[in-house]
Amino acid sequence: MATEQTRGLGRILIAPAVIALFVWMIVPLVMTIYFSTLDYNLLNPGSESFVGLENYFYFLTDPAFLASLQNTLVLVGSVLAITVVVGTLVALLLDQAVIGRSIVRLMVIAPFFVMPTVSALVWKNLLMHPVSGLFAWIATSLGLRPIDWFAEAPLLAIILIVAWQWLPFATLILLTALQSLDEEQKEAAEMDGARAFSTFFHITLQHLARPITVVILIETIFLQTVFAEIYVTTGGGPGLQTTNIAFLIYSQALIQFDVGTASAGGLVAVVLANIVAFFLVRIVGRNLEA
Amino acid sequence: MARQPSPARVLTTTVAAWIVGFLIFFPILWMVLTSFKTELEAFSTPPSFLFFHWTTENYAAVQGRSDYVHHAINSIVIAGGSTLIAMLIAIPAAWSMAFAPSPRTRDILLWMLSTKMMPPVGVLVPIYLIYRNFGLLDSRVGLVAVLCLGNLPIVVWMLFTYFKEIPKDILEAARMDGATIGKELVYVLTPMAVPGIASTLLLNFILAWNEAFWTLNLSTSQAAPLTVFIASYSSPEGLFWAKLSAASTLAIAPILVLGWFSQRQLVRGLTFGAVK
């Protein structure tokens, strides 16, 4: 039973965290909203003026916005598809009888702990370099023409790098979920004469539905803000081919110093993220009651 | 009764799993191998896999050319500092929500979670301007603050899920025996909470170590941690693969070891307890 005393103490204990997060969230957000209504460029200080919704109009009608929105959707969608499908397969494989499974698991998880700038540069240079990269050598050995990844298929190159980084996350969560699936449940189904295939579809996949949803939602939140991988490899180019929304806002803010437009873009990004967050918070909240 | 899979099947799945594991791990292995080659061999085609002239000269060169140690210390200070401060703020909060929940606890938790979902780029402009005005750009203090606040929701959530698993009966028993809240905290809760606190600490240290949005945008040299230091190799004149590999190996090795210890906590921390 929580007494009056503990409840009062509880409030005091929780206060620093709530206040810190409140300040962290509200102050910059209010500033972003305020800046987004100004014509404000850092290269031209002292000339700020109120322009209403003009920045939003400018940001949303800018061809760069549509291009970057499309790139964001392709990037998020492709990485999700790759990590969920491959992650499920790898998790199912690791859930089998495997000698030395813990070592294999370590190898599979490793990419997740590599900092984004390292994975991006290692992939860009050591693996994807059109002349001296390992992929080029493999292609040449097989009698194929090596691909100049960052010139011919820059977005695909970014997708592969990011998918490699997030594959361990999907695999690990799905493997954890699989291992909690009751062996007896599967066996009971087999005893009932269910074939392996139908066991898989009816029991395993059904059991994985929720963890897959969680993987999709969490990855979507993080993948919307992929930044370092683009920053160190392509710088958003060639042209706008690898500019996602996060990178577009960054370049407006810290390369063109256009505070007004970047702020309007920032709010657009917040709204987009919130659409996904809404669903994730509901799923987690439902889980909290159980 | 678990059926024993046939030896042939075990062999097949084992071989398949090792091949998959090796392929996923390969880029890291390749990077480590390259770090022991000379620049010439690192760049040569066809590549040599094991039979090259092994050398450690790149490791010495990385330190000589760019003061690796300085950036490594920054990484330790920033990741360690932000994690410790976040723990100090989060432990009392998580404790009170787990042991003295109020009707609003659920809403507070979900609200905290939702702050984590705000894209950092949405507040890049104001944070950058605030930092510029207060002289916090390229300062360790500034990075500690921003990473601490950024990870605080995850820290609170992880601690909360751990604390919630501590059986309440034990507290009741201690209270029956006349323990005060202070004693309860020191003798009963702390020993049971230590494993959860340690895991949370570990995972958040890793997340802060690898953070590459704020560190890239708010630091350049003085306070730059390893993420930024490695990014400096992206410039065309920095096309030294063996040195890039050596610097990268040094930057990820400690965290890879820590990371392997925290696999289980990873699932829990990053899914906010939605998958255990």
**Domains contained in chain B, number:** 2
| Any domain includes B276 | no
Contacts of A245 in chain B (CB under 8 A): 121
- Give all strands (DSSP E) within chain B, no chain letters: none
Interface probe for A, chosen from B68, B117, B157, B204 (most Cβ of A below 10 Å), is: B117
Contacts of A35 in chain B (CB under 8 A): 125-126
| DSSP code for B274 | S
Same domain, B27 and B86: no
Contacts of B252 in chain A (CB under 8 A): 113-115, 118
Cβ atoms B152, A21 nearer than 8 A = yes
| Any domain includes B117 | yes
CATH number at residue B235: 1.10.3720.10
Q: What is the mean pLDDT of residues B213-232?
A: 90
Q: How far is A241 from chain B (nearest CA, A)?
A: 19
Same domain, B226 and B102: yes
Same domain, B107 and B239: yes
Same domain, B13 and B136: no
Q: Do B273 and A103 touch (CB under 8 A)?
A: no
In angstroms, rounded to a whole number, what is the distance separating the alpha carbons of residues B229 and B247? Answer: 9
Q: Is the peptide bond before A116 cis (omega within 30 degrees of 0)?
A: no
Tokens of B110: 């979900």
Q: What is the mean pLDDT of residues B13-36?
A: 94
Contacts of B258 in chain A (CB under 8 A): 113
In angstroms, rounded to a whole number, what is the distance separating the alpha carbons of residues B254 and A39? Answer: 46
Contacts of A272 in chain B (CB under 8 A): 119
Same domain, B127 and B38: no
| Any domain includes B161 | yes
In angstroms, rounded to a whole number, what is the distance separating the alpha carbons of residues A207 and A38? Answer: 51
Q: Which CATH code for domain A54-258?
A: 1.10.3720.10
In angstroms, rounded to a whole number, what is the distance separating the alpha carbons of residues B90 and A18? Answer: 10
Q: Is the peptide bond before B195 cis (omega within 30 degrees of 0)?
A: no
Cβ atoms B108, A26 nearer than 8 A = no
Same domain, B258 and B168: yes
For B173, the domain range is 62-270
Same domain, B32 and B102: no
| Any domain includes B149 | yes
Of B2, B9, B251, the CB nearest to A115: B251
Chain segment A3-17, per-residue pLDDT in tens:
666 677 778 888 898
Range name among A30-34, A145-149, A277-281 with the lowest pLDDT average: A277-281
Chain segment A219-238, per-residue pLDDT in tens:
888 898 899 999 999 888 78
Same domain, B84 and B46: no
| Any domain includes B2 | no
Q: What is the pLDDT of residue A226?
A: 92
* Mean of pLDDT over chain B: 85
Q: What is the mean pLDDT of residues B94-112?
A: 84
Cβ atoms A133, B245 nearer than 8 A = no
Q: Do A117 and B260 touch (CB under 8 A)?
A: no
Chain segment A103-119, per-residue pLDDT in tens:
999 999 999 999 999 99
Q: Do B126 and A27 touch (CB under 8 A)?
A: yes
Tokens of A54: 């003009």
Same domain, B44 and B133: no
Report residue B274's pLDDT band, with 50, 70 and 90 as the boundaries. Answer: low
Contacts of B20 in chain A (CB under 8 A): 90, 93, 104, 108
Same domain, B108 and B54: no
CB pairs under 8 A between A and B: 326
Of B25, B89, B216, the CB nearest to A231: B216
In angstroms, rounded to a whole number, what is the distance separating the alpha carbons of residues B123 and B211? Answer: 16
- Which ipTM was obtained for this model? 0.87
What residue in B sits closest to A277 (Cα-Cα)? B117
Q: Which residue has the higher pLDDT, A97 or A45?
A: A97
| Whether residue A183 has pLDDT greater than 80 | no
Structural domain boundaries of chain A? 54-258
Kindly state the percentage of chain A with pLDDT values over 90.
30
| Any domain includes B275 | no
Q: Which residue has the higher pLDDT, A276 or B151?
A: B151
Report residue A79's pLDDT band, with 50, 70 and 90 as the boundaries. Answer: very high
In angstroms, rounded to a whole number, what is the distance separating the alpha carbons of residues A281 and B9? Answer: 42
| Whether residue B24 has pLDDT greater than 80 | yes
In angstroms, rounded to a whole number, what is the distance separating the alpha carbons of residues A230 and A116? Answer: 10
Query: Three-state DSSP class for B2?
Result: coil
DSSP per-residue letters across chain A: ---HHHHHHHHHHHHHHHHHHHHHHHHHHHHHHHHTTEE-BTTSTT--EE-TTHHHHHHHHSHHHHHHHHHHHHHHHHHHHHHHHHHHHHHHHHTS--TTHHHHHHHHHGGGGS-HHHHHHIIIIIIT-TTTSHHHHHHHHTTPPPP-HHHH-HHHHHHHHHHHHHHHHHHHHHHHHHHTS-HHHHHHHHHTT--HHHHIIIIIHHHHHHHHHHHHHHHHHHHTT--HHHHHHTTT-STTTT--HHHHHHHHHHTS-BHHHHHHHHHHHHHHHHHHHHHHHHHHHHHHH-
> Exposed, middle or buried: residue A60 (CB in 10 Å: 0-12, 13-18, 19+)?
middle
Q: What is the pLDDT of residue A190?
A: 65
Chain segment A51-68, per-residue pLDDT in tens:
888 888 888 888 888 999
Q: On the CB side of B206, how many CA atoms lie within 13 Å of its CA? A: 27
What residue in A sits closest to B8 (Cα-Cα)? A97
Q: Do B274 and A284 touch (CB under 8 A)?
A: yes
| Whether residue B6 has pLDDT greater than 90 | no
Q: How far is A21 from chain B (nearest CA, A)?
A: 7
Q: How far is A287 from chain B (nearest CA, A)?
A: 6
Query: Three-state DSSP class for B188?
Result: helix
Same domain, B16 and B138: no
Contacts of A124 in chain B (CB under 8 A): 234
Q: What is the mean pLDDT of residues B135-153?
A: 92
Same domain, B206 and B257: yes
Give the Cβ contact number of residue A183 at 10 Å: 11
In angstroms, rounded to a whole number, what is the distance separating the alpha carbons of residues A277 and B85? Answer: 26
| Any domain includes B251 | yes
Q: Do B27 and A127 touch (CB under 8 A)?
A: yes
Interface probe for A, chosen from B125, B258, B261 (most Cβ of A below 10 Å), is: B125
Q: Do A7 and B259 touch (CB under 8 A)?
A: no
